[in-house]
A and B are shown apart, each in its own frame.
Chain A
Amino acid sequence: SAVISQKPSRDICQRGTSLTIQCQVDSQVTMMFWYRQQPGQSLTLIATANQGSEATYESGFVIDKFPISRPNLTFSTLTVSNMSPEDSSIYLCSDRLGPYNEQFFGPGTRLTVL
């Protein structure tokens, strides 16, 4: 599998501010995804990051709150905008490899909003 890195690994932010999370893959991948994992919960897909076009958002997630960029096949960013304490979560990026849609995850970004 490709090696995925994320920055920052964790952050503590004030409400009303924004944080941009970076995801870097060490090889070109066609599909990248962003997930949220709230405390004690499973993974919820936020959006699919599409190279060269707008991200595809899941129900309940909007571009104004979670703008995503995908400038090339190895990099993507997720911004959490106008944060509130409810945004405190782990944010994970993943890539899709293989013919059976296997996904591999980065180490995650642990976000705490005060």
Chain B
Amino acid sequence: QKEVEQNSGPLSVPEGAIASLNCTYSDRGSQSFFWYRQYSGKSPELIMFIYSNGDKEDGRFTAQLNKASQYVSLLIRDSQPSDSATYLCAVNVADDYKLSFGAGTTVTVRA
């Protein structure tokens, strides 16, 4: 069983809409959760991280964490064409410095 699963894409949303990305993880000891954005041909860029249950907002991005359900999500509000990228969910397991990455969800924002 994969450690980190993301909803399969690609995800296409119209400009101005909300893009919703989901990620589940298998290790209940996971403590930190990260969302990376990767443009085609570029390296991953950290855009959000969360470690407490609830919501964390940064500009148009909101990360949501529910440890009981082992679920973390990323909402992109007012989606822009520049948000078109692959979004990678990563999880840090307790007592370990390593990250486990999901397969990624490709988002396309239609103008």
Interface residues of A (CB under 8 A from B): 1, 31, 33, 41-45, 48, 90, 92, 96, 100-108
A24 to B90, CA, bound (A): 24
Nearest A residue to B98, CB-CB: A45
Count of CB-CB pairs between chains A and B under 8 Å: 47
A101 engages B43 (CB within 8 Å): no
Nearest A residue to B50, CB-CB: A100
Any A CB within 8 A of the CB of B34: yes
Residues of chain B at interface, number, CB under 8 A: 20
Instruction: Return the contact of B103 from the options A42, A101, A102, A107 (Cβ within 8 A).
Output: A42
A35 to B1, CA, bound (A): 21
Interface CB pairs A-B, < 8 A, 6: A42-B102, A42-B103, A42-B104, A100-B51, A103-B99, A105-B44
Contacts of B46 in A (CB 8 A): 1, 102-104
